Amino acid sequence: MPPLLLLQAVDLTFGQSPLLTGAELSVGPRERLALVGRNGSGKSTLLKIAAGLVEPDSGTRFVQPGTTVRYLAQEPDFGDHTTVAAYVEAGLGEGDDAHRGRQLIEDFGLRPDADPRRLSGGEARRAALARVLAPEPDILLLDEPTNHLDLALIETLEETLKALRSSIVLISHDRRFLTNLTNATVWLDRGATRRLDRGFGAFEAWRDQLLEEEELARHKLDRKIAREEDWLRYGVSARRKRNQRRLADLHGLRAERKTRREGRPVGDVAFAKGDIRTAGKLVIEAEGISKRFGDRTVVADFSIKVERGDRVGFVGPNGAGKTTLIRMLTGDLQPDGGTVKLGTNLDVATLDQRRETLDLDTTVADTLTGGGSDNVVIAGQARHVVGYMKDFLFRPEQARTPVRALSGGERGRLMLARALARSANLLVLDEPTNDLDLETLDLLQEMLADYDGTLILVSHDRDFLDRVVTSTVASEGAGRWQEYAGGYSDMVAQRGHGIAARAAAPAPPPKPAEGAAPTAKPAAPKRKLTFNDQQALKNLPSKMKKLEDEIRRQERAIADPGLYARDPRGFAIATGALETARTALAAAEDDWLRLELLREEAGG
């Protein structure tokens, strides 16, 4: 079939440096493309060219007549719109269903009468998503749609996009999100594009193979490869292979932690700390701690024991109280009830997700060294700051760059470099993956795999949690928290679902002035089922039956007591498939119930 949108031979130069050289992009009906590449490679620019917002220096853009295209920018422009509803409805075209916009506003937990200019970053992202999704366009161009979203909303968005008939071009640093949604991948590297007609799940192995073949060809031609470029590009493959080996080690750590929690004796693990002070075996022990703010319970009767070497992830919707809970566990905030006991010799390093502890006027080198020296002391060994910077993908010439000139991703890397340089035996990372590209996420995983201390991690990145943590503490609602052995997928397999989005009731309207007559609430008009609703109601029962069969199949596979030891990869695939099927079934059941109630209300 002919493509709906086609970019050919696109060139674009900013200043003296070419950003795009002969880039191409083809989007066919119902295609779901992952657009991937390192930060600064030009992904967002290429997406803007596809949206018709940026004119390239040369090349062609073709869109099939009648094709509708909607573009989600990283930073939404609310213009003169005074309410969220007005902003969302302005994105609808002739013949579009206005109710869908209102439904999405509700699904995303927004107030239709809220002022867009007063929204938080996460709320603004949800409003922008509602605007581009409401028309159900032929093509959706989405630039980092999960930015500022919590896990519950990421999973809600994922299911919403799966249900659409639209073609999608997606830029994201969320591996799980890309894997679950895409069926083709476009890699933008050094200004040019290469296409794989498989989803993101197959991309990294394909990319590694291409890079290895390219490296071999360049050596055969006896061409000199610049050391920095060689390391930055081809080192990705080596890091990924090391990380795959370390994943196997992580499975062993998880099994050990589960055994320890069940009270069976295990051998002590020796941790080589270098210059890091060795903490006691007990790091944190909390018994029945609770915390309330006014009438709201944030933590209710929570207990946990964290021992040396544990890697504990905390997950839950925004506002559930993850940061409050961690502050209590690390002694930064006193609980209202219960006790927290901290281990001996604790040195704590914290990564603030807001990057607010960086001095914007200080250079990168001085941020790492403290000023007055060219060396960073790592585990008792002095290293030149430029060499240490290279470990975090900084170029040598950036040593004298002020922090304010860095991108969001570069500031994130700098915070990580500074935190990991400290001789800390307890590392607290609050959303460390924000603004990091896939290569930097690999680097962070490698750094944490080498870290000898105890880790407390808050993250909305499901794949990263699976790769790093030994146990997951999840919000169960109403201030209740529960610890599960393993990563995020293991948690889902044990509890039967992911992080459910809490029903976000719109704030009550302002009270009338004293003495004013109450105004009558207008009756809400009954809504009839649209054609799409009727088709969905007809097809959902068979879809739910297929999902139930898939769940039973994966549960039988996981029930095999020897599967984990025999085939860790097969076990991980089965638990991931089980998570996906359960999440999809829950969404389908919710859709069916909503539509059935609507049908009854409409008298159908």
The angle, 0 to 180 degrees and rounded to 10, between the axes of the packed helices 568-601 and 227-261 is: 80
CA distance linking residue 316 with residue 295, whole number of Å: 20
- Residues 156-182, mean pLDDT to the nearest whole number: 94
Strand ranges of the sheet holding 337-342, from the earlier edge strand across to the other edge: 296-307, 282-293, 337-342
Shared domain check, 535 and 491: no
Q: How many CA atoms lie within 13 A of 367 on its CB side?
A: 30
For residue 455, pLDDT over 80 is answered with: yes
Looking at the structure, tell me whether residues 197 and 322 fall in a common domain.
Answer: no
Q: Are 185 and 167 in contact (CB under 8 A)?
A: no
Q: What is the pLDDT of residue 356?
A: 55
What is the rounded CA–CA span in Å between residue 44 and residue 49? Answer: 9
For residue 463, the tally of other CB atoms under 10 A from its CB is 21
71 in a structural domain: yes
**CA proximity to 413, closest of 422, 403, 423:** 403
Q: Clarify whether residues 109 and 57 are in a common domain.
A: yes
Predicted local distance difference test score (pLDDT) of residue 252: 66
Query: 432 with 419: CB under 8 angstroms?
Result: no
594 and 445 co-located in one domain: no
Report the share of the chain in percent with pLDDT over 90: 39
CA angle 121, 179, 391 (to 5 degrees): 70
Q: What is the total count of domains within the chain?
A: 3
- Does a structural domain hold residue 14? yes
Residue 295 and residue 301: Cα distance in Å, rounded?
16
Q: What is the pLDDT of residues 55-75, one digit of tens each?
A: 999 999 999 999 999 999 988
Give the full edge-to-edge strand order of the sheet including 58-63: 17-27, 5-14, 58-63
Q: Tens digit of pLDDT for each residue in 363-373?
A: 999 999 888 78
Angle at 433 between CA 354 and CA 420, to 5 degrees: 80
pLDDT tens for each residue of 486-536: 899 989 888 888 876 443 333 344 444 444 444 444 444 445 567 677 777
What pLDDT is stored for residue 73 in this prediction?
92
pLDDT of residue 426 exceeding 70 = yes
Per-residue confidence band for 102, with pLDDT thresholds at 50, 70 and 90 = very high
Burial of 287 (0-12, 13-18, 19+ CB in 10 A): middle
Query: Are both 32 and 180 inside the same structural domain?
Result: yes
Residue 405 covered by a domain: no
Alpha-carbon gap, residue 251 to 468, rounded angstroms: 10
Last residue of a domain, one of 475, 495, 515: 495
**pLDDT higher at 560 or 202:** 202
- Inside any domain, residue 256: no
**563 near 571, Cβ under 8 Å?**
yes
- Of 477, 495, 513, the residue at which a domain comes to its end is 495
Same-domain status, 117 and 73: yes
* DSSP designation for 520: P
Residues pairing with 384 in the sheet: 375
Mean pLDDT within 571-600 = 74
Q: Are residues 73 and 156 in the same domain?
A: yes
Residue 517 lies in a domain: no
**Summary count for the chain: helices (H), strands (E):** 18, 20
Q: Is residue 84 part of a domain?
A: yes
490, 576: one domain: no
The amino acid sitting at 596 is E
Same domain, residue pair 476 and 547 = no
Are 185 and 321 contained in the same domain? no
Query: How far apart, in Å, are the Cα atoms of 89 and each of 114, 135, 242?
Result: 14, 9, 49
Same domain for 291 and 201: no
Q: Collapsing DSSP states into helix, strand and coil, what is residue 14? A: strand
Contact 230, 219 (CB under 8 A): no
Q: CA 454, CA 101: separation in Å to the nearest integer? A: 45
Q: Higher pLDDT residue, 433 or 401?
A: 401
Residues 353-367: what's their mean pLDDT? 79
Kindly state whether residue 428 falls inside one of the protein's structural domains: yes
Question: Can you tell me which residue has the tokens 């001085």?
Answer: 366
Reading the block at residue 200, the tokens are 């993101």
User: Residue 186 falls within a domain, yes or no?
Assistant: yes
Residues 122 and 11 in one domain: yes
- Domain end among 495, 518, 542: 495
Domain CATH number, residue 85: 3.40.50.300
Output the pLDDT for position 602: 59
Looking at the predicted structure, is the pLDDT value of residue 600 above 80? no
Confidence of residue 559 (pLDDT cuts 50, 70, 90): confident
Task: Please provide the DSSP assignment of 275-288 as one string.
Answer: TSPPPPSEEEEEEE
Q: What is the pTM of this model?
A: 0.68
Q: For residue 546, what are the domain limits?
A: 531-601
- In this predicted structure, the answer to whether residue 226 has a pLDDT above a threshold of 70 is no
Task: Among 114-123, 222-231, 476-485, 578-587, name the one with the lowest average pLDDT.
Answer: 222-231
